Structure formats: C-alpha cells, structure tokens
Structure 1
Amino acid sequence: MAMLMLASTGAAASAADTAGAGQPDPNAAPSTRPAAGPEVRSIAAAGSRPVSGKNPVAAPSTKKDAAGFQRVVSQKKVQLKNTVTDADGDKSTLTFEVWTADTAGKPVTKVKLNDTTYGVIVSPYVASGSLVTVDVPPGKLSLHQNYVFHTSAFDGSLYETSWSPWAPFRVEPPVDLTLPAPDYTAPDPSALDNPPSGLQTKPLGAGAALAAKTKPAAEQCSAKDDDGRQVCFGKQLTKDEAPKKVAAKMAAASDEIAGIPWCNTDFPSILSTRQAQCDVRSVPVVIRTDGVPDAIAYFMFVRTLQLDGANSFTEHLLIEPAQQIPLDFAEIDLNLGKHFCQGSCKPIQPDASAWKGKNWWVPGEMHSAEITTPYTWDASGVNTQELFKPDVQIDGAILPSDGKIRPFMTGYQWSLDYRGDTSELDQIRCDTKDVDKDVTPGCVFVNSAPTYEFNAKKFPQAAAHGWLIQTYNPTHPGSETERKPLYYMGDKDQNNRSRGRICPTGWAAENGDASALTDVADELNCDEFAFASSYNSGGMSSTEGGLNPALVPGKTTPTGDACLGTFAKKVGTTMHLFSLDGTDPTFKEVCGRSAISGKENQESMGGHFSAFMKDMRLRDKDAYWLDTRMTPGITCHNGGGTPVICKLTAQ
C-alpha cells in the first residue's frame, strides 16, 4: 500500500463541481452512472424516489481530525455506512462511490473498488429506513490517503436525483512507525560507556537515612579572635557566582584528573557514573573582621572517587588556586585533617609525604597539590551489603599578611558543602551478593542510575515499541528526560505473573502478522513494556508493589487489555509498527504490548540485559534509565501529538 502523508490541515470543504482531467463528473446525477441497474423512465413520474441519508460515515472510527476527515482505524476491514429511505416503502439499494481527495475534501480521482463497469459497491435491497453497511475489499485503499465517498439510492426503478453529502475519511492507524532495516551485525552497546550524570536517582523506596547524615551547606569558620577577626571556607560557588578571573581559569582547564577522561576543572559540578565520581568545587577562603571581608582567595577543590577494586576504592583530592593568591595573605597551608566512613569501611590515612606538589601557597602562586587515599571494606562475608559515605576534612592554616596574629586554624568538611540535590550522589553500596551466578564482591554509586541501551540497529521492532511507549504514554518508563526511571524487580515468580497478565498465551499469534518474522524458525512474541522484570510493569498490582497497574474499569487484576496494543507488519519491503487493527488508543495507557518477532523480542534483552545487570551490579529496586536509541528526527506527521506517524532512525 502506498504510504501517503497529509500535506496540511484545514476545515473539510464540500466537493468541487469537477474532478481531475479524464475523470467523470463526481456530482453528475446518479442515473448517469446506473451501477444498480437502469432507471425505468416510463414510471419516473409515478412514484417517489428513494433518498440517501445526510450523514454517511466511514468506520471503525470514533473521531475526526482537525480537517474534518473521519479517522478509520482498521486496515483489514474498512466499512462505509449510510441510511436509505423510500416514501413509498419500497426496498432500495445504496451505491457507494469512493474518490481520492485533496486536503480540503474535494474529490480528485475515482477509486475503482471492484472490477465492475463503474467500480462501485452496490448494497443488497434493504427496507426503507435501514442503515446500510458495506465492506471495502482489502487492498483498495491506501494508508494516510485522503478520501471522500458518497451514496446514491435506487429502488429498482428510480434513482434519487442527487448524491448524498460527501463523507471525508482517511485510513489512518493511530500508530504507524516506519522502521529501519535491521542490521544483525551491529554490536551491542555497553553500559560501561555510559556518560557521567549529575542526576541523583535513588533506588525505589530508599530513604534518606545514612550512617552519617549530612547537613545543609554552610560556611565553615574558625572562632573569632579578640579583634573580631575570623577565617571561613565559604559555601561553594556556581560558575555564574565565581569572579570572572575564576571562571576564565576554570574554562581554560581541560586536563583529565585521576585518569577519569571527563573529570576536569572546567566548571563546578558533580558528575558520576556507576563506578566513578568527580566532584569539582569553587570554594572561597575569606578573612573577615566583624563579618566584613578583608581578603578572599579562591580555590578549586576536586575530589574523585573510583570504585576500582573488589574490596577497596580510592579517593583522589586535587587542590589548586583559581587565581593567584592575593597579597592580603602571607601564606595558606592546606592539609588532610581526617577521613570518615561507616561500618566495615576503613580509610587508610596517608601521611604528609604523600602529597604531590607542595600543599601551601604564598602570594602569586597557582600550583596544584594532589593526594590519594585508599579505602577498604570487609568483603569476606556471604550475601552481605553495606552502604558507605566516605568523607574528608581539609584543615587550613591561614596567615594574614599583616603579621599581627598567628595563623587562623579552620577546616573544610566535604559533606557539609553540597549544592543542590546531590548530597547522596556519593553514597556507595558494596556487596557480596550473587549477580547472575557471579559472586565477585564489588561496589557501585547506588544513587547514580545507569542507562540500558537497546541495540536499535539490530532489533528495531523491540526498540521502536519501547520508543513509542516511553515517548507517548504518561508513565514514560525509563525516560531520563521525564525523570521516570525503571526499577529493577528481581522476583522471578512475580515476573511470570506480571508477564502472564499482560501477554497471555496465544495473544501474539492472534494479533500479529507473520511478515514481522525474520526467518522460518522465528515465532511471533508478545513484547511487554515496561518490562515484566520491573516495578513499572503494567502487570504488577499495587498490592504487589507495582507502580503502574494496568486496570480496566471495575477490575482489580492487571490485564494487557488496558495497554496500548501494536503489531509489526511489513508493507512492501519496509517494516512498520502499527496500532492493533480496529483500536483507537487514548495514549493515556500505562503500558504497551506488541506482537513482534520473537527473535527481536528475546535477543534485544537476553544476554545483553544480563551483562548490563552484572556490569552495573543491578539489585532489586535499583533505578536505571532506558535509551531506546531510536529517533524520529523531524519526520513525525503529527507534530508531536497523536496519531503517531513517524519514520524512525536507529542510532
């Protein structure tokens, strides 16, 4: 079938008096095209002529588009309907004539619906007042093409004098995604290549309780001396708050820190992957008298944490001035005060000789100083899990240049100066739990959600289904943009229950199309999204802990009947994902199910998701994102609304 798109929208207009060149006059009297039989003129004045109804409709349909075209949502069975009456009570037929139309609803080309002389559908004789319904033969109408139809009545002797009003319609499944051809050689993406993120995303139900609770960010100051003087580490600054010299210094820096390619001092930020974190801060050191600043020096503090061992991890601290130390200071000495951790976590405090670069500064200096601190934890247990929040205090001896007093002593504790909702992004979970039969101990930043990436090039049917539900349904499962994470659910029995409710046996075979299969060994599968192995699954009831149970009105057990249904089908040489024939989704459904290739459904997850779980140490209720790696570009016919008619590209 030709895939023609609407060129524009506008109010549907009445038909033109003439059609395209070589076409019959669409409004000529029905008797000029006597498909139902010849008119008996000798009795033309003796009886009443039958009349078509004034409201012909195309079906199945529940709504019209902005231009007034009825949206027919069935590809398999398009029906045309109108009433017929005869004042004499005679039985009558209805003749149904279909034309292509322009965007204003004016007829253009007559459609030949069958091999009869006139190419129209003539109904059987029906009683006066009946609603007549005819089925358009399959393959006669194209998707997304504008059509109009009208009817004429015939009672065996007389035709009505004019056709019924035109009824504009379009065969338009609410979902039609054109998919790219699969590339079965495309390699699976790896979550180990996830870019860093500053978004703090906790596991489902995780509270704020930590072994050591954090406090709101505040200045950290020494006591005042007898003259009312004190020194403070101020709260960290944003890039916009920092002086221009500081911002320029930060923008010029590009060298990676501690071997982390994306960690540098370009701007204050906290970024994390599941295995590494880089926290960059712009911190002022201020001398005040009675609250009025006498001198300010700006420093960059950078702390990295790398989870690089089975029973250990490493902190790297870098300190450098963001501008030359002002003459108001005689000297600024910074050193490690102490480290903090919880449970079996033990920091191995380095001594002063471990510094790389001198850790004191005098006016005019801008050198860097670095120091590394290892941490260990007890990984000897079986099936254990601990939460750690490593912390460090930097001690400062600040000497004013006036020389009147001894150095001020104060400290800067890392956990007391978080900015924004990031105070638990550095929380580390270490465990010895079984991960897909792999009991290697390890750690992750538990509040840094990893991203699972579909191999969209290899499995476009599964990726397209995920893209559709993630983009258009209100739950947006796995969308980082919408802040709607997926939460892993590890109970296999619940997984089976959820899947059975959404995808009962035989559903895919009953609703799918064999053209979606990749080879003779392939079978149609029901693809559920959100995944049955997630708390987001539509098949998981709220009493079972489910977040989005798929319920039909009056029922309490989730069912796939409440999901948006689609199926994959090849049209010509191109695969499409269509909404289920005859359905008109609301796009308010909380889930989706799709009849697609079993190979694509199973292999798009399978070992790929197992590797993701292992690499990211995913545990029950852990949050993660889904990148479908599908994009429509600017191809969507609907402009961002519904219906959803797009041509997708795999990344």
Structure 2
Amino acid sequence: MAALLMFSVGGVAQAASDPAPAAKPDPNAAPPKVHGPEKQTRAAAAGARPASGKSPKASPLSRNAAPSGFQRVTSQKVQLKNTVTDPDGDKVNLTFEVWTANAAGEPVAKVKLNDSTYGVIVSPYVESGGTATVDVPVGKLALNTNYVFHTNAYDGSLYETVWSPWAKFRVELPVDLTLPTPNYSAPNPNHYDAQVPNYYQTKPLGQPGTPLAARSTTAAKSAVEQCSEPDADGRQVCFGKSVPAPKGKAPHASAKAGVAAATAGVEWCNTDFESILATRFTECDVRSVPVIIKMDGVPQAVAKFMFLRMIQLDGQNSFTEHLTIEPAQQIPPAFREINFVGWNHLCEDSCTPQEQPASAWTGKTWWVPGEMHSASLTTPFTWDTSASGQEYLYKPDIQIDANILPADGKFRPFVTGYQWSLDYDGGTEDLDRIRCDTPAAGASDGVVPGCVFVNHAPVYTFNAKAFPQAAAHAWLIQKATPKHPGSMADQKPLYYMGDEAQNARSRNRICPTGWAADNGDASALVDAADTLNCDEFAFASSYNSGGMSATEGGLNPAIPAGKTTPNGDACIGTYAKKHGSMVHLFSLNGTDPTFSEVCGRSAISGMHNQESMGGHFANFMKQMRIKDKDAYWLDTRMDDGGTCRYGVGGGQPVICQLAAQ
C-alpha cells in the first residue's frame, strides 16, 4: 500500500509516516546517564555526589595560547582531561562531551566522538582527587577548528547532576602548511638564465678574510687617495677615493642627461649609478671617482668621473674586460684639460692581458670643460689551459695614467695615476677574484676548461610548481629556524660538501632506513609507483647538514639532548598528508618543535623529493662549476602571501597557505 504523502507549503513531498527531524542537541541539557539509572543502594544526597574539577584541560598544549583564550593543542592525538573528587573516597570516572564552538567559545554543534548512543567518551575509573584522561580518536576533530568540552562525574552509584565549566581548545599543529596543487608540466628553471646579480661577496668555506660581506655603506676600508707629488707651491692633483653606493642599490637612471648604455649588452652594468654587482660569470664595478686639485693638502677644485670596469668570463681559456670612463658632471673651469694617456693591465702568472693600442678606444680619452662624452676600451685576457686537473686564482688589475692641467696659467700638467685595486669599497675587495680550472686527465663527463667569480654564490632554484612538497619543506626550515640555510635574505649560504662517504653518513643519521615509511602518509604519494622518502634539509651534500658533526667539519650538527652524535631526532619532523582536497605539510604527531632546531626531515613523496634535485642539481653544479666548499643559495620559489598565522620564526607556530612562484 502506498505511503500517504503530505506536501509542505513549499511543494516538497513528505511521507506522513516519516519521522520528524531530530531535535538539535542542547549544550546546556542535563548530563546523560551513560551508565544507566543511579543505584539506590544509598541516599542520593547532594554532598555524596562526585564532582568534576573546575579547570578541564586539552593536551598536548603549545607554549603559545591561541586567540580568545583557546588552549592550543599541538597534535592530532588529542587528550582531554579533568580532575575529579568524590566525598566518599570512591573511585570515579568522567564522561567527556565535545562541541564545535564559535570565536567567543560558545558551543555550536555536538561532535560524535564514537558510535555509542550519546557520542561521548567515558574515562577509566581513577582515585578520588586524581585526573581522568581520555584519548580522542584521530580524525574526529578537525584541524584549525574551535572546540569546547565539559565533563560529568560518576562514582559507580551516583552521577554529578551538572556539567563542569566549558574548556576551550583548538587543534592546531605547530606546522601546518597548505600546499598548492602540483603542476607536473611546469618547466624546470634555467639555472644559467635565472642568476640575478647581487653585491654579496660570498667566499668558499674556510677561505681567509671575510667569508661573507656586503658592500659597505661607509668609506672604503682599504681605499687610498692616489696623488701626484706636490710642486714647489704645494699644489698637487689626486684621484680621490671612490664613493660607495647605498647598500643594496643597483644601477638605475640618474639625474644625468640621458641614460647610459648597457655595457656589452649587460643591462645592469652601466654608469648611471655607483655599484658593484656580480653573477657567477660577470662582474661590474662602477665607481664615482673624484679628480681633485689640492693646495697644501686642501681641495681647491673637484671634477667627478664615473669609472666602470666589467669583466665577462666568456670563453673556455679567455675572459674580457670592458673599461668605460666618462664625466659624472660638467668639468669645472678650474681644469683646462684632463687627459688619460696610458694604461697597463696586470694579472698573475699563466694569465696574459692582450694590451690594446690607443686607437682601440671608442671616444676621446681627454676632456675639457663642457664635454660629457664617454670613452671605452675592451681588453681580452687569456690563460693557460695546457695542464689537466689544475686550478688557478686570478685577480685582474689595471693602472691608468693621467695628465691633469689646471686652468691657472701654469701649463705644466700634473702627472698621476689610478690603480683599480687600490680603491675597493670595503667588503667587496675580492668580488672580482676569478677561479679557472681545467678538467682532470681522462675526464669524460663533458667538462671543459672554464672560469667563475669564485666569491659570488649562484642560486639553485626549485621547481616549486611541480614539486611543492620538497619546496615547502625547504621553505619551512629556511624561514622558521635560526640557521636559515640557503637564504639570501638572511645571508646564510649553503656550502657544497663533495665527500660521498660523508654525504652517506650525514644522510643516514638524519634519515635512517624506514623512517619515512614509519612516519609518512600514503595520501601524499603521486601514484602507485611512488614511495615515501625522507627529505632532509639542509642537504646531506652540504656542510650545513644537521647530520655532519663539528669534528667532521659540519657547521650545524643536530645533537639531541644527552647525545654526542648527530641524529634526526633533533630536527623538526614533518610529513605530507592529504587533508580535505589539499596536501598539507604537518608536524609529526606528538611533536612540538621549538623552532630553534638546525635542520628538518620530512616524510614526503619520493617523486617530489628526487625530482626537486636529481639531475637538475647535477646540471646546476656543472654549469656553475661548483666545487667542494663553494657557497650557493637556494630559492625555494615558495611564498606565503602574508597568510601565516602566529608569524614565522621566533618560536611561533607556522600555519600558512603557500603558493608556488
């Protein structure tokens, strides 16, 4: 027999026999009698009833409180607890009820914690005055969600007739990075084209002198004035110290008329601005150099010139210097003429400058008041590549002689000179150091002779769009730990370590066999052929690795408390897991990083781990001629877009939505 149908005003059919919608639970309803009726073996006197404590707690708690007084639980393995007492000294248990909550901590919807009739969890019995604890099943509570819970006591006979006060808490892991959806068709970066010039002098590890320095904002530490001998009247001319640019500035259009042309097609190398910048293969040093007439040591007149020297490492056994000289402003009338009359290039043994005649200059090499033209000279250098397996360090230099004639009726010109190496700005004096090398005898890997600016660190770039799990892990360790490995912004370079045996030792200490399988989640895998990998950062092939002890030359050994050998337990531990529709990078269950760790290890997709490095890093090494102890930077190509809660660094949790660049 067909069921009788009734229709609502809105026209929706409803069977007359269908039950009415269940009433919405009332958070203030009387506690349920989950053990059945009270036993009537004794009087249910109010004073004999058990009582919950007034301060329920959720755990494990973070050191940092969440907003609005919510307790921050920093694990997906949530425990709820409360003290309980019984006037008769009976053993007691607690019933725990959990609700979602709004921002004010008011209950919204009851959470069904298990399949029991009431959806509550009952603790084991504890002694009166003790603490009752229950474990919430993993998955019953959502991450980054507000909750409240309360308790009700039972002593085996009598129930507590009211609930305890509400306790507010949130399940927020110390690390929760929401990752972008991978785009496996995203092309890998072209490491050669991706290099951006900068002013950092970054020496290989262990090299003498300042290992890492930026252009000074004060006067050059070693620069000296270069002057002629005073004449009988006490007058002389000098090339003064060059004027340093503000730290971090790059060339840009100046107030001079017109815009200076790029040197040899290198757009960032021109005379618009004092600067010193380099890539692994090009170095450009632009100086504002005053020419000064002095009387008894006191300046009488100044003519300002721009001196530019760019060196390009553009051949297997050669490199090229481009020199440009031009006035920075009108030549003052106190000068009749400034004439550059000679030049001499210097270089170490096995390095030979090919001096050019005067006719090789483009533009006149003398200036009178009113002239603003430029003069340029290109000088090639060659070096000896005949011996295999050799390494050479070169520091090209140039001496420039000038005749300077004041406009005061005394026509004998003053003769002085300017030498490039005597006028470095502090902290950049070795940025033009060139390292050239030849392949070892019998080398068959396609390596050819070549040169690099050894004190410039190149940048290795992740393909974050294709492999966000590996990129996000490196981003986390760069941003949230004090060592900031590979971060150019924090001036913390990585140093390549080429000892394969040490590489294996470091990796095994941080990522022992089976760690990823024991701590990872298969939802992070790309396909059936993918397997979980342990991704360590800083890399095992770097002196920054947490697995490399100080006695082995390591910079940041990860030593757990009470131990003497590096171990991955002292690193921040994370794992990738699909949560909802997105893959997240979470801190390991039950861990609470201090963010003072020196390293990280993460259980992630093996495909993401291996493809983020693999042959791409090998090509980078070959292109940039990286050798043991050479410095380099890592660009993770990840960005939080200002989404991070609690901030990044300073011991704060890291909860962010990342985007790949």
| TM-score (normalizing by structure 2) | 0.90
Counterpart in the other structure of 1:198: 199
The within-5 A match list for 1:2-401 is 24-30=25-31, 33-40=32-39, 43-45=43-45, 48-66=48-66, 67-75=68-76, 77-193=77-193, 194-208=195-209, 216-238=222-244, 248-250=254-256, 252-401=258-407
**Whole-angstrom distance in 1 between the partners of 2:279 and 2:57:** 57
**Whole-angstrom distance in 2 between the partners of 1:315 and 1:183:** 43
**Whole-angstrom distance in 1 between the partners of 2:637 and 2:336:** 56
Q: Counterpart of 1:61 in structure 2: which amino acid?
A: L
The within-5 A match list for 1:482-493 is 482-493=490-501
Taking a change above 3 Å as real, the CA distance of residues 638 and 46 of structure 1, as seen in their structure-2 partners, is closer
Stretches of structure 1 lacking an aligned partner (at least 5 in a row) = 1-20
Taking a change above 3 Å as real, the CA distance of residues 488 and 630 of structure 1, as seen in their structure-2 partners, is same
> Is residue 286–residue 293 contact of structure 1 (8 Å, CA) maintained in 2?
yes
The superposition leaves residues 526-553 of structure 1 with CA deviations (integer Å, 9 ceiling, x where unpaired) of: 0000000000000000000000000012
CA drift at 1:91? 3.7
Moved more, 329-338 or 169-178: 329-338
The superposition leaves residues 458-516 of structure 1 with CA deviations (integer Å, 9 ceiling, x where unpaired) of: 11000000000000011100011111100000000000000000000000000000011
SS of 1:371 mapped into structure 2: strand
**Whole-angstrom distance in 2 between the partners of 1:207 and 1:436:** 33
SS of 1:43 mapped into structure 2: coil
> Is residue 306–residue 314 contact of structure 1 (8 Å, CA) maintained in 2?
yes
Taking a change above 3 Å as real, the CA distance of residues 448 and 47 of structure 1, as seen in their structure-2 partners, is closer
CA drift at 1:124? 4.4
Q: Counterpart of 2:198 in structure 1: which amino acid?
A: S
1:550 paired residue among 527, 552, 558:
558
Q: Does 1:404 align with 2:410?
A: yes
Counterpart in the other structure of 2:614: 606
SS of 1:601 mapped into structure 2: helix
CA drift at 1:590? 0.5
2:448 paired residue among 422, 428, 440:
440
Taking a change above 3 Å as real, the CA distance of residues 116 and 208 of structure 1, as seen in their structure-2 partners, is closer
SS of 1:224 mapped into structure 2: coil
SS of 2:558 mapped into structure 1: coil
> Is residue 125–residue 132 contact of structure 2 (8 Å, CA) maintained in 1?
no
SS of 1:346 mapped into structure 2: strand
Counterpart in the other structure of 2:654: 644
**Whole-angstrom distance in 2 between the partners of 1:268 and 1:251:** 16
> Is residue 525–residue 595 contact of structure 1 (8 Å, CA) maintained in 2?
yes
Taking a change above 3 Å as real, the CA distance of residues 126 and 217 of structure 1, as seen in their structure-2 partners, is closer
**Whole-angstrom distance in 2 between the partners of 1:567 and 1:122:** 32
**Whole-angstrom distance in 2 between the partners of 1:216 and 1:129:** 74
Moved more, 38-47 or 119-128: 38-47
Taking a change above 3 Å as real, the CA distance of residues 433 and 152 of structure 1, as seen in their structure-2 partners, is same
The superposition leaves residues 183-225 of structure 1 with CA deviations (integer Å, 9 ceiling, x where unpaired) of: 1111111231211011111110111399xxx981011110011
SS of 1:191 mapped into structure 2: coil
Percent identity at matched positions? 68
Q: Does 1:623 align with 2:631?
A: yes
Moved more, 601-610 or 41-50: 41-50
**Whole-angstrom distance in 2 between the partners of 1:302 and 1:99:** 70
**Whole-angstrom distance in 2 between the partners of 1:629 and 1:355:** 44
| TM-score (normalizing by structure 1) | 0.91
Q: Does 1:562 align with 2:561?
A: no
Counterpart in the other structure of 1:529: 537
> Is residue 228–residue 237 contact of structure 2 (8 Å, CA) maintained in 1?
yes
Moved more, 170-179 or 633-642: 633-642
Taking a change above 3 Å as real, the CA distance of residues 400 and 22 of structure 1, as seen in their structure-2 partners, is farther
> Is residue 251–residue 267 contact of structure 1 (8 Å, CA) maintained in 2?
no
> Is residue 447–residue 622 contact of structure 2 (8 Å, CA) maintained in 1?
no
CA drift at 1:78? 2.0
The superposition leaves residues 253-297 of structure 1 with CA deviations (integer Å, 9 ceiling, x where unpaired) of: 242112212111221001100000111111111112222333321
The superposition leaves residues 328-359 of structure 1 with CA deviations (integer Å, 9 ceiling, x where unpaired) of: 22221113421111121111111212111111
Q: Does 1:585 align with 2:593?
A: yes
Taking a change above 3 Å as real, the CA distance of residues 408 and 428 of structure 1, as seen in their structure-2 partners, is same
Counterpart in the other structure of 2:502: 494
Q: Counterpart of 2:470 in structure 1: which amino acid?
A: A
**Whole-angstrom distance in 1 between the partners of 2:46 and 2:164:** 23
Counterpart in the other structure of 1:573: 581
Taking a change above 3 Å as real, the CA distance of residues 240 and 144 of structure 1, as seen in their structure-2 partners, is closer
**Whole-angstrom distance in 2 between the partners of 1:355 and 1:536:** 48
Counterpart in the other structure of 1:461: 469
Moved more, 349-358 or 309-318: 349-358
> Is residue 229–residue 236 contact of structure 2 (8 Å, CA) maintained in 1?
yes
> Is residue 251–residue 266 contact of structure 1 (8 Å, CA) maintained in 2?
no
**Whole-angstrom distance in 2 between the partners of 1:98 and 1:260:** 65
Counterpart in the other structure of 1:9: none
Taking a change above 3 Å as real, the CA distance of residues 340 and 64 of structure 1, as seen in their structure-2 partners, is closer
CA drift at 1:48? 1.2
* Cα RMSD (Å): 2.4
Q: Counterpart of 1:439 in structure 2: which amino acid?
A: V
SS of 2:424 mapped into structure 1: coil
**Whole-angstrom distance in 2 between the partners of 1:436 and 1:260:** 33
**Whole-angstrom distance in 1 between the partners of 2:137 and 2:254:** 71
Q: Counterpart of 1:425 in structure 2: which amino acid?
A: L
> Is residue 239–residue 247 contact of structure 1 (8 Å, CA) maintained in 2?
no
**Whole-angstrom distance in 1 between the partners of 2:202 and 2:530:** 38
**Whole-angstrom distance in 2 between the partners of 1:478 and 1:426:** 22
Q: Counterpart of 1:160 in structure 2: which amino acid?
A: E
Moved more, 113-122 or 393-402: 113-122
The superposition leaves residues 386-432 of structure 1 with CA deviations (integer Å, 9 ceiling, x where unpaired) of: 11110001110011223323111000000111123111100101111
**Whole-angstrom distance in 2 between the partners of 1:345 and 1:92:** 88
CA drift at 1:584? 0.5
The superposition leaves residues 338-385 of structure 1 with CA deviations (integer Å, 9 ceiling, x where unpaired) of: 111112111111121211111111221111111111111111111111
Counterpart in the other structure of 1:8: none
**Whole-angstrom distance in 2 between the partners of 1:105 and 1:321:** 70
Taking a change above 3 Å as real, the CA distance of residues 46 and 592 of structure 1, as seen in their structure-2 partners, is closer
**Whole-angstrom distance in 1 between the partners of 2:553 and 2:140:** 49
Q: Counterpart of 1:647 in structure 2: which amino acid?
A: Q
Q: Counterpart of 1:650 in structure 2: which amino acid?
A: A
**Whole-angstrom distance in 2 between the partners of 1:405 and 1:62:** 82
**Whole-angstrom distance in 1 between the partners of 2:444 and 2:559:** 33
**Whole-angstrom distance in 1 between the partners of 2:568 and 2:253:** 54
